[in-house]
Structure 1
């Protein structure tokens, strides 16, 4: 146990250490050049964590390891639950059936295709293939973090998936506006917003691409709302993934002593938090006084800021458990799998968006 009498001091020291590194990552992410690139504190955190794991790891007390693991596992689940305060069901309703259908189709097809290609064609292990697919299909690094405990995957596998998300998400941030300005995308601002929200990896990257003509445009609003629709879909996706894992374990007989259904309760609580936030926002919009509305919005903003820091801690701790030696044998397979998913998101996503808008 992490907080047993003999481990308590080391665990607390490890958590404090992770928090200090996460604070440094947050500061770096806030610097002008880094902020302009849309690089989140989560990404900075994992980079610093990986650097620590492969250079300075042996110079710090081994007793801190329990605190690092606690941050990567327990704090992560807590942070994912409170991620629900970024979403309301009203926002999802605003974008209409078109945004919902694009989100659903792109998430399901990308996850299924990415897992199959990664595992069967490019010979990745199942966990790495699924983690990479979850990052591409849902919401980037946060989705990898949320999927990792369901799969009970090793830290270095999640780090591979996050690195692919960072690479192709960054490419998308520059590619989408360039293709739009070149006239290759024949879309209305609303359509392009739906397309960007339904296919780009990270929330921050969607905000950057959707806001190329301004943060309050029809395009920007559609992009962010569709992206948040994808984010909330991570909860049912993880529940279905848990059911699938239990089914395959039963079918192959790999679970000793009976089959245990894996239900990611933090995903269920995540939906609950989104529901609470929806009720709160409904109250603000329907009849709250101006002072009360400001207090509520300020409180939620603070919750989201704390939650981002906790996610950064989890990502930093994930990096701290990643040794380069564990990557041996993977070769370019993760890059090939991520490239295939990116091609589907860019090309397939365009045609899916045009079809959905035309039909619905």
Structure 2
């Protein structure tokens, strides 16, 4: 094959790469700055008092500050989108290497009562808060599943199922991002206050109280880095996995309820919204996100590897490398999450939806805290 033919064959990939690399490099640069800032604050550099902040918290805060003061340059948006989705989700999947099937099962059985109760409370409270604040029914349902199940993924997955309008989907996503990021930054301190001696229960609290998977992982990383308790990240990941899996049961139920209430009628705007959601993703979103399946796959890999190669130095080196790559990907992805938060969006969605989102997040957070504390006291 000639050089010209090779250039033509690889031109699409090279073009796509050239659009992704600048934004990805921007996220990496901010993540490195945030890491240096966190290390400097922890060491008390330049004669300042020591302030123990985790690199992930600094990365998210720096990203939010940059977005809301300097803005995000157009050339960086494609790469930042990829960092917030592909890179971050790969990092989340690699967290599975920290667990074996036995360990994940033990955490899941402990967290299951908290996860199920918080899910039910969120759906019931969402309906009550929506009625009290006169929030439209479809919007209230999107807000409830976004808070209770898996954040933005649940909102986007449920939108075509319940025939939500495009504006309703956008408003629900905005609420999930705003209140989920607030919880991500605040709840690690709550966990440190109430679960200082139990990283397992801290992880269960964070995994059942915060909206989106990325936000749960960010909060768990902050707690883990602050408390030097890496097991909290594994516990939070498994607790969140339980919530993610509930989408498989809730989506058919939501579709049946909507068909029962509305019959076969569908407005043109609702049909357009459903097509827009499907078109943006290529097809309707998978019932279970692919990174969740990858997370389970890496748990299986770790289990088999520990069974067959536990004493082998190359296997231990490979697992250690997986930890490092996961941490790097998560920090880079969380920087992109911070860069996605726009404070101006708060005023666009109106006070009723803000109040509904805040009320629902508070109810779920309080429920998770109380149940996780009860588990802690009941544990042997």
- Shorter-chain TM range is 0.5 to 0.7
Unaligned runs of 5+ in 2: 1-11, 44-49, 160-168, 210-218
Output one character per residue of 1:166-222: Cα deviation in whole Å (capped at 9) or x when no partner: 3551452354159xxxxxxxxxx8xx666544323542466589x7xx96xxxx96x
Cα contact 1:110–1:341 (8 A) shared by 2: yes
Pairwise CA distance, 1:284: 2.0
Candidates 322, 329, 334, aligned match of 1:300: 322
More helix by share: 2
Equivalent residue for 1:256, pick from 258, 271, 277 = 271
Say how many residue pairs are matched: 321
Q: 1:102–1:48: structure 2 CA closer, same or farther, 3 Å change rule?
A: same
Partner residue in 1 for 2:104: 92
Following the alignment from structure 2 to structure 1, what is the Cα–Cα distance between the partners of residues 253 and 360? Answer: 22
**Residue in 1 aligned with 2:67?**
53
Q: Deviations over 1:242-278 (max 9, x none)?
A: 5456556656536528897844367244234423333
C-alpha deviations, 1:277-309, integer Å up to 9, x for none?
333333324444331332232222133223313
Distance 1:196 1:78, change over 3 A: closer
Unaligned runs of 5+ in 1: 135-142, 179-188
CA distance in 1, matches of 2:322, 2:120: 33
For 1:6 and 1:300, the matched residues in 2 are separated by 29
117, 123, 147: which is aligned to 1:112? 123
CA 1:72–1:194: 2 relative to 1, 3 Å: closer
Rg (Cα) greater in structure: 2
Alignment of 1:221-240 (within 5 A): 226-240=235-249
2 CA distance for matches of 1:303 and 1:274? 18
| Residue 327, structure 1, aligned to residue 317, structure 2 | no
| TM-score in terms of structure 2 length | 0.64
Q: Please, which of 206, 220, 224 is the counterpart of residue 203 of structure 1?
A: 220
Q: Give the deviation of 1:91 after TM superposition.
A: 0.8
Cross-structure match for 1:165: 183
Q: What value does the CA root-mean-square deviation take over the aligned residues?
A: 4.4
Give the TM-score normalised by the residue count of structure 1. Answer: 0.67
SS at match of 2:271: coil
Task: Flag the 1:146–1:21 CA change in 2: closer, same or farther, 3 A.
Answer: farther
